[in-house]
Amino acid sequence: MNQKLGKICLIISGLLIISTLTACSSSTPTKTNVEKLNYIEISKDIKDKVNSYWQQQELDFRSEMEWGRKKKEMIAEREVSWQKNFQKIELPFPSSKEQELDRLLTGLKHKLTADEVKIELETESSGSEVAEAELTVKLQSAELKDKELTLYHLKMTQPKVKARMAFIIDDLGFNRDGTAELMEIDRPLTVAVLPFRPYSTSDAEKAVQAGHEILLHLPMEPSSPVSPGEGAIYTDMAPEEIRTTIQKGLASLGVEVAGVNNHMGSKVTADNKTMSVVLDYLHQQDLFFIDSSTAPRSVVPAAAREVGESYAVNHLFIDNIDDKERINKQIQYLADVALKQGELITIGHIKPNTIQAIKELIPKLEEKGIQLVYVSELVK
């Protein structure tokens, strides 16, 4: 009897153990495979596009980079991997409009545009000295629902442009001393070339190759009995003769011309009848006019408004006295005027002292926040 009872107890104990093990087994969750989403390659593609863009700019800037900070996170029950890239750039003063912060950011946005990315841009000013911007590239995907992944973040700073200044260099066409030095200046300058001179076409072509803007330096009758030279406009000319003379002068340079300014011309620019014909013809040709300010009572502003012609006025000649120190002082005085006004046009001549003074003062002008521009950018 005792043996039977012992066996029964053993059987009951075994059943209890099996039941317990079964219960424990059923309470342990079954391990499932978590879906993984890997966006590392997209992150690297963004990085490569950014690197390529900055290499194309040929800018001497300071940069701090932190590439490849890998991120992993559970999003919408998926294991998501991506790479967050960070860059901080301090840009130099923009020596041309193409190097300005807004334009560089616009170019970068265009480079990064893709269906799966969203680009956010914020710009602000830090006082009156520095412009700042932040650009963020985020990944958007239906798989992530409302979650956006930051792939690239850029912080940029750049000294502000406080004023713009245009230098016009008159009297090219003779291959004079200073011409070669002028072509070596790596900043936007405007050169005014006389027509029908021994080197008119050659000087104009060299200026185009140097990246400068070209004006026809149109000879005009002065009040004094001095010949303005071949290709000049006189007050006793018929309208058709005026138009033909301008057309031939433009053609003689052999390059694309942005506009016209007067060589001498104190009598013509004070004569409403003659200037109306000149400005109306230039308007039809889509060419602006720069009044060199050789006449104390110029009719150019009134006549230009009447025919709808775009024009601007020379503020001051910088080299009436051909002395480098005096020219330096003139330019520094004009720099202060430009900072007060916001923009300014000035004229010099193709002389070694003038060209050397401009070249030497460019860094100082840029330190003040003055950007050199083509005169066409200041024409109204």
Q: Are strands 316-317 and 343-349 parallel, antiparallel or unpaired?
A: parallel
The helix (run of H) or strand (run of E) holding residue 49 is helix 40-57
Q: Are residues 171 and 244 in the same domain?
A: yes
Q: Are residues 177 and 149 in the same domain?
A: no
Q: Is residue 179 part of a domain?
A: yes
Q: Is residue 9 part of a domain?
A: no
Q: Is residue 14 part of a domain?
A: no
What is the domain range of residue 185? 163-378
Q: Are residues 119 and 180 in the same domain?
A: no
Can you give the pLDDT of all 380 residues of the chain as single tens digits? 455 555 554 555 554 554 554 554 444 444 458 889 999 998 888 888 888 998 898 888 888 877 667 889 998 888 999 999 899 999 999 999 999 999 999 999 888 877 678 888 887 665 678 999 999 999 988 888 888 999 999 999 999 999 999 999 999 999 999 999 999 999 999 999 999 999 999 999 999 999 999 999 999 999 999 999 999 999 999 999 999 999 999 999 999 999 999 999 999 999 999 999 999 999 999 999 999 999 999 999 999 999 999 999 999 999 999 999 999 999 999 999 999 999 999 999 999 999 999 999 999 999 999 999 999 999 99
Token pair recorded at residue 245 = 């003379």
Q: Are residues 241 and 190 in the same domain?
A: yes
Asked if 374 contacts 288 with a C-beta cutoff of 8 angstroms, the reply is no
213, β-bridge pairs: 190
**Domain final position from 159, 188, 217:** 159
- Using alpha carbons only, what angle is made at residue 164 by residues 162 and 166, rounded to the nearest 5 degrees? 160
Q: Is residue 141 part of a domain?
A: yes
Q: Could you report how far apart the first and last alpha carbons of the chain are, in Å?
A: 122
Q: Are residues 216 and 355 in the same domain?
A: yes
Q: What is the pLDDT of residues 169-178, one digit of tens each?
A: 999 999 999 9
**Domain final position from 108, 138, 159:** 159
The helix (run of H) or strand (run of E) holding residue 356 is helix 352-367
For the beta carbon of residue 150, count every other beta carbon within 10 angstroms. Answer: 16
Asked if 249 contacts 202 with a C-beta cutoff of 8 angstroms, the reply is no
**Domain final position from 110, 141, 159:** 159
Q: Are residues 215 and 314 in the same domain?
A: yes
Token pair recorded at residue 213 = 């803007």
Q: What is the CATH classification number for the domain harbouring 366?
A: 3.20.20.370
d(CA 90, CA 63): 6
Q: What is the pLDDT of residues 271-324, one digit of tens each?
A: 999 999 999 999 999 999 999 999 999 999 999 999 999 999 999 999 999 999
Q: How many domains does the chain have?
A: 2
Query: Which residues contact residue 82 at a Cβ distance below 8 angstroms, ignoring those fewer than 6 apart?
Result: 38, 39, 40, 42, 43, 70, 71, 139, 149, 151
Asked if 67 contacts 80 with a C-beta cutoff of 8 angstroms, the reply is no
Q: Are residues 231 and 365 in the same domain?
A: yes
Q: Is residue 76 part of a domain?
A: yes
Q: What is the pLDDT of residues 315-373, one digit of tens each?
A: 999 999 999 999 999 999 999 999 999 999 999 999 999 999 999 999 999 999 999 99
In 3-state terms, what secondary structure has residue 146? coil
Distances, alpha carbon 298 to alpha carbons 106, 127, 276, 375, 376, in Å: 42, 41, 12, 20, 20
Backbone angles phi, psi at 182, to 5 degrees: -60, -40
Q: Is residue 22 part of a domain?
A: no
Q: Is residue 70 part of a domain?
A: yes
Q: Is residue 290 part of a domain?
A: yes
